[in-house]
Amino acid sequence: MAEIEKEEKTIAEDLVVTKYKLAGEIVNRTLKTVIDLCVADASVRDICTKSDNLLTEETNKVYKKEKDLKKGIAFPTCLSVNNCVCHFSPSKNDPDYVLKDGDVVKIDLGAHIDGFIAVAAHTVIVGASADKKVTGRKADVTLAAYWAVQAALRLLKSGNNNYAITEAVQQISESYKCKPIEGMLSHELKQFKIDGEKTIIQNPSEAQRKEHEKCTFETHEVYAIDVIVSTGEGIGREKDTKVSIYKKTDENYMLKLKTSRALLAEVKTKYGNMPFNIRSFEEETKARMGVVECMSHKMIEPFQVLYEKPSEYVAQFKHTVLLMPNGVNLVTGLPFATENFVSEHSIAQAELKELVATPLQPTKKGKGHAKKKAATAGTDAATPAPAAVETKA
């Protein structure tokens, strides 16, 4: 039995760090491509399909000689627009959405190399630019989510606890007269596991607060820091949109239907425990039939498409972060032009304002470099830093 129990691989190993960074670079490049595709009259289904194809192509190019090494999509591309909170990625037979000028688009996607997962989410406003700034509630919610995630990244330190992040995200969201979506979780990432045990909850209800476990962050852990904020009451609800993203669980059951067994066999081979989109199956109708029995026995779980009230807007930012001995190492995330957003609100708490103005990355270039970074942090995060993993601060 001792041989079966494989030792957990962590970022204490250089090779594991390399794989996370490689997956992160692929995610960042794909995210940039998707952002450029988010224009008026573009089809959400087409963009998601192109993005997933790109993630597959790019991951296929690396570690070619290691035939047994698994790699590919860690989270299928979703484009959730305006009041849609998450997981909108229509399959071939489902209604599409066509982007319009002014739409608030949350892009969410992920890739993995050898089970080491890099995920990212970013919010864009269709048609916005330096000459056409975003104002009003769209600006409020996007800035709230952006600055909340910046605070979260700076509080993700070895020895800190998860509720410090919960409170900071709450306070910054409220500064912008917004609310984090209730009960959403940021998970620790492990090899082949997108939903590790340690979590950070945002805007918990009383019941969730009682149930949710407090934890302390430790060196060599990896987290997907995910912040989703709404202009409304902060509660995501299911509507009639069909689920298209699912994930295999560790439950076992002798399935009766041939279609269900065929689906599960393909999921195990192609995706393992990674989330997948039903759109990627050649025969989508058969795959949907197979999913029903698998779900009824909890062998496959759905990622529900959630919505706020129709008049509200929701924004999201997500980063994959490695807790290294010398500080955090950000492997996903793109620059964000805060100067293109105009809000009458700002962070109300002096200590949080100060926190987001501190440099995120550990500095190696002496005091002068640190001062220079501190001066630019928190004002304009639009200019990427030189290294691929230092694109945010």
pLDDT in tens, 131-158: 999 999 999 999 999 999 999 999 999 9
The total of other beta-carbon atoms located within 10 Å of residue 292's CB is 13
Cα maximum dimension of the chain: 67
Q: Across residues 180-196, what is the average pLDDT?
A: 97
Predicted local confidence at residue 386, as pLDDT: 29
Q: Across residues 66-70, what is the average pLDDT?
A: 93
Predicted local confidence at residue 361, as pLDDT: 74
- Looking at per-residue pLDDT, the higher value among 375 and 34 belongs to 34
Task: Evaluate whether 332 touches 111 at the Cβ level (below 8 Å).
Answer: no
Residue 122: pLDDT above 60?
A: yes
Predicted local confidence at residue 7, as pLDDT: 84
Q: Across residues 210-226, what is the average pLDDT?
A: 97
In the chain the beta strands, taken as DSSP E runs, fall at 71-81, 84-86, 104-113, 116-125, 179-180, 185-187, 199-201, 222-230, 237-238, 245-248, 276-277, 300-302, 306-307, 314-324, 327-330
Indicate the pTM of the whole model: 0.91
- Between CA 113 and CA 9, with CA 322 as vertex, the angle to 5 degrees is 55
Residue 93: pLDDT above 80?
A: yes
Q: What are the start-end ranges of the H helices in 11-114?
A: 14-37, 44-60
At residue 364 the predicted structure's pLDDT band, cuts being 50, 70 and 90, is: low
Which domains are assigned to the chain?
14-241+308-357 (3.90.230.10), 244-303 (1.10.10.10)
Range 268-274 contact pairs with CB under 8 angstroms and sequence separation of 24 or more: 270/72, 271/72, 271/73, 272/70, 272/115, 272/192, 272/248, 273/192, 273/193, 273/194, 273/247, 273/248, 273/249, 274/72, 274/73, 274/74, 274/75, 274/112, 274/117, 274/192, 274/194, 274/247
Predicted local confidence at residue 280, as pLDDT: 94
Q: Which of these ranges, 286-295, 317-326, 338-347, 373-382, has the smallest mean pLDDT? A: 373-382
Q: Across residues 303-328, what is the average pLDDT?
A: 97
Looking at the chain, the whole-number percentage of residues with pLDDT higher than 70 is 91
Reduced DSSP (H G I as helix, E B as strand, rest coil) percent helix, strand, coil of the chain, to 5? 35, 25, 45
Predicted local confidence at residue 363, as pLDDT: 57
- Between CA 346 and CA 352, with CA 349 as vertex, the angle to 5 degrees is 90
Q: Walk across the sheet containing 84-86 and list its strands.
A: 84-86, 306-307, 237-238
What are the tokens at 357? 């103005």
Looking at the chain, the whole-number percentage of residues with pLDDT higher than 90 is 89
Q: What pLDDT digit, counting tens, does each position of 2-46 carry?
A: 445 578 999 999 999 999 999 999 999 999 999 999 999 999 999
Per-chain mean pLDDT for the chain:
91
What are the tokens at 146? 């952006």
Q: Across residues 361-369, what is the average pLDDT?
A: 52
- Looking at per-residue pLDDT, the higher value among 375 and 266 belongs to 266
Give me the count of residues in the chain.
Answer: 393
Predicted local confidence at residue 381, as pLDDT: 37
Task: Evaluate whether 20 touches 322 at the Cβ level (below 8 Å).
Answer: yes
Task: Evaluate whether 47 touches 38 at the Cβ level (below 8 Å).
Answer: yes
Q: What pLDDT digit, counting tens, does each position of 252-310 carry?
A: 999 999 999 999 999 999 999 999 999 999 999 999 999 999 999 999 999 999 999 99
